[in-house]
Structure 1
Amino acid sequence: MAIVIGSGAGGATMAKALSESGHDVLIIERGPAVSGSDAYLQYANVDAGIRLMRAFCLGGTTMVSGGNALRCLEEEMKGYGIDLSTYYAAIEDELGVKPLPDHLIGPGTRRLMEHAIDLGYPVSRMPKFIDPDRCCMDGLCAFGCPTDARWSALSFILDARANGAEVVTGQTVDEIIVRHGEAAGVRSGSRIYQDDLVILAAGALETPRFLQQLSLPTTPLFADTFVSVGGVLPGIGMNKDVPMGFYIPYDGGIILPHYSRPFQSLLNEAGFSVAEEDIIGMMVKIRDDDDGSVGEVIRKGVTVGDAERLIDGATHATALLTGAGVDPRTLVSAPLRGSHPCGTARIGVSVDTNLETTIPGLYVTDASVLPEAPGSPPILAIIALARYAADRIGR
């Protein structure tokens, strides 16, 4: 049996791949199994200086993702001797990854996209793992998808179950058991699950704590820090747009259309009485510095370099918003958040190029292993790395 701790992109991918290759698989997830429409209730965000975003439920944070499917760190991985190109291509085909189609480009997104193109920005439509025929365009992807139009790790978990995998929810793993220097199972409360293959995919804020218990090295935290900037454009209706329908790369990160739920209250506090449909916004997401740490307390701040990248991106976003018709007096910015905690068990330090730790049989396959801040959605990279690792187990 292989024991998989966590059921997000990395854990679910490993569970599916290992069950397909004949392993008995046990998935242990600390959160509950929930429907897509209730996934937002499972957010377990952490205030660490900036607000770090995650969810505890079956399927993990994929249940509240925007459905974005950008390749990231592909060239950087080659520096470690890891070529993910064939894995990316296979995953894109399997998940039906395609640029967001024209009929799912909402009015606010379209207005910003057309203005950015007119100004000569390098605009690309966001590749998505969203079934366009099932999308209800409610603008709530990050709260959970009520029609399951957006892929989530639940589909891989269902595949693993069909191959005989067992899934346990609502149970927290307390300890990874090591005997004679090798992985031997896990302890959850008074229960012991024994096996010599343990896959650690608990997320970049939990995985390093397991490694620290075993005196294994961990690494500083990235989080793809982002800021959302918005203002008033009466009747634009961006609150119903499929989020992040296009992206603009810039030196330091990417800029995307984004309706942030805090905008309305921020505008009301600033003296503007507006409805949700009267607000338009953009997100600036940066490749941030690794100044974060995970221990008894989780900390993630903003370095001078981070601030410069955020200001640079926000300058572009503000220009695009005002050019699209926003009254500059109404511009507000939401508090800083980190959407992709990662990097706390990096390849080359905490794990080798097979994603195995120095304890034989203990692997890490979540965002912890990313060697650099992606600065863009990492789900595709996590799936690709997990499949890469699964192919090497038992070689």
Structure 2
Amino acid sequence: MVIIVGSGAGGGLLAMELASANIPVTLIEKGPFIETKDAFKYYDKSDEGVDLLKTTCIGGTTLVSTGNAVRSLEDDFKKLGIDLSNEFNELEDDLNIHELNDSHHGISSNIFIKSANKLNLNPCKMPKAINEEKCIICGNCAFGCPVDAKWTSKDFVEIAEDNGAEILTNSEVIDLIIENDQVKGVKILNNGKKEEIISDLVILSAGAIGSGIILQNAGIKAGEKLFFDSFVTVGGILKDVRLNKEIQMNGLVTGENFILAPHFSTIIYDELKDKNIRSEDIFSIMVKIPDEPTGYIKNNKVFKNNSIKDGKYLAEGCAVAGFILKEAGVDPNTIKSTNIRGAHPGGTAAIGEVVDTNLQTKINGLYVADASVLPKSPGKPPILTILALSKRLSNYIIANY
């Protein structure tokens, strides 16, 4: 039997692939099985001084992603001897990753692309894993799709269960069972009750924070180089732009040290409410950077500061975003910015430091398959890359089981 801890992008794919190959799977998820539309209720509370967006439920943070599906770190992995080309190709076909039809690009994404084009910024449409036939264009991508139009890892978990995988929800892995450098299973709290589940093959896919904590609790050195894909959102007033009612992040500008995408921010709206404006009048742009791994996990808590270089990259991105906002017609006197936040924690069990190129730790039979293993911040949505790494691992396990 294979134990998989966590049901996000990595865990969900592994559960599906292994169960479909008739390998017994037990998937352990700390959160509950929910309807996708309710995902916004399961955002985790951040540790003091840290603003990190992630959820705990079946499907993990994929439920509150915006369907973005871009390749990242492909060349970096090749330098490590990991070629993900086949995995990327298969996933792009299987998930029907594509630029959405014009019917699913509204006023704001068109303004974003048009304005960026005028500034010679080479914008493009964001590749998405969204089914246009089901999508109702409601703007709720980051809250949980009400009609399940976008792919989430929950889809994979359901396929895994149909193929015989055992799914344990509301179950937290509190420690690993290790004997003579061989994993033997996990200790869990299953709805508050302590239990042990025995297996000599365990895959941690609990996210960079969850997996990092589990590794540390087992005495394995991890969690010391945490990045966040730090981002801010800047925006202001542009009457009737209706970004809040559109598919989020439907356009993309890629700079050397940042990416930009249209993204509605309730924070900016809240700051401007006293000006008698509506949420439909907010036009804002996310500025995301590949931040340095200056964070760490200690005593089950997360600590993170941004470096001087991070500040420089954010300033560069915000300046370019400001030019786009001005070109789009946003009133410069209304432009506001959010605080620095994080959305894609990673790096806590990096390849070459905590795991090898097959994603195995120094403990035999103990693997990690989530953003923990990324060698550096991609500065881009990492879900497709996590899926590719996990697909590669599933192929390896199936071949050697």
TM-score normalised to structure 2 length: 0.96
SS in 2 for 1:371: coil
CA deviation digits over 1:270-290, x for unaligned, max 9? x42211001101010000011
What is the aligned partner in structure 2 of residue 276 from structure 1? 279
Give, in angstroms, the shift of residue 49 of structure 1: 3.3
Residue type of the alignment partner of 2:65? S
Give, in angstroms, the shift of residue 323 of structure 1: 1.1
Residue type of the alignment partner of 2:171? Q
Moved more, 366-375 or 105-114: 105-114
Structure 2: gaps of 5 or more residues: none
Give, in angstroms, the shift of residue 45 of structure 1: 4.0
Q: Does the 8 Å CA contact 2:350/2:374 hold for their aligned counterparts?
A: yes
Q: Counterparts in 2 of 1:24-35, with a 5 A limit?
A: 24-35=24-35
What is the aligned partner in structure 2 of residue 120 from structure 1? 120
- Would you identify which runs of 4 or more consecutive aligned residues in structure 1 move more than 4 Å? none
CA deviation digits over 1:126-150, x for unaligned, max 9? 0000001111111110100010000
1:326 aligns with 2:326: no
Give, in angstroms, the shift of residue 48 of structure 1: 5.2
What is the aligned partner in structure 1 of residue 231 from structure 2? 226
CA deviation digits over 1:207-249, x for unaligned, max 9? 1111112222214101000000010011111111100111111
SS in 1 for 2:208: coil
Residue type of the alignment partner of 1:259? F
Q: Counterparts in 2 of 1:56-135, with a 5 A limit?
A: 56-135=56-135
SS in 1 for 2:150: coil
Q: Counterparts in 2 of 1:7-18, with a 5 A limit?
A: 7-18=7-18
What is the aligned partner in structure 1 of residue 317 from structure 2? 313
What is the aligned partner in structure 1 of residue 6 from structure 2? 6
Q: Counterparts in 2 of 1:244-263, with a 5 A limit?
A: 244-263=249-268
What is the aligned partner in structure 1 of residue 208 from structure 2? 204
Distance 1:19 1:180 in 2: 28
* Alignment partner of 1:238 out of 227, 235, 243: 243
Q: Does the 8 Å CA contact 1:7/1:60 hold for their aligned counterparts?
A: yes
1:293 aligns with 2:293: no
CA pair 142-332 structure 1, distance change in 2 beyond 3 A: same
Query: Alignment length, in residue pairs?
Result: 393
Q: Does the 8 Å CA contact 1:53/1:341 hold for their aligned counterparts?
A: no
Moved more, 70-79 or 271-280: 271-280
Residue type of the alignment partner of 1:71? R
Residue type of the alignment partner of 1:306? D
What is the aligned partner in structure 1 of residue 366 from structure 2? 362
* Alignment partner of 1:194 out of 182, 195, 198: 198
Q: Percent identity?
A: 40
Distance 1:158 1:213 in 2: 30
CA deviation digits over 1:108-157, x for unaligned, max 9? 11112111112211111100000011111111101000100000001111
SS in 2 for 1:283: strand
Moved more, 349-358 or 289-298: 289-298
Q: CA RMSD in A?
A: 1.1
Distance 1:36 1:317 in 2: 31
Distance 1:181 1:368 in 2: 21
Distance 2:112 2:160 in 1: 41
SS in 1 for 2:122: coil
SS in 2 for 1:46: coil
CA deviation digits over 1:33-75, x for unaligned, max 9? 1111101101004245341111000011111111000000000
SS in 2 for 1:41: helix
Distance 1:376 1:229 in 2: 18
Distance 1:89 1:261 in 2: 36
Residue type of the alignment partner of 2:258? G
TM-score normalised to structure 1 length: 0.97
SS in 2 for 1:380: helix
CA pair 325-47 structure 1, distance change in 2 beyond 3 A: farther
What is the aligned partner in structure 1 of residue 343 from structure 2? 339
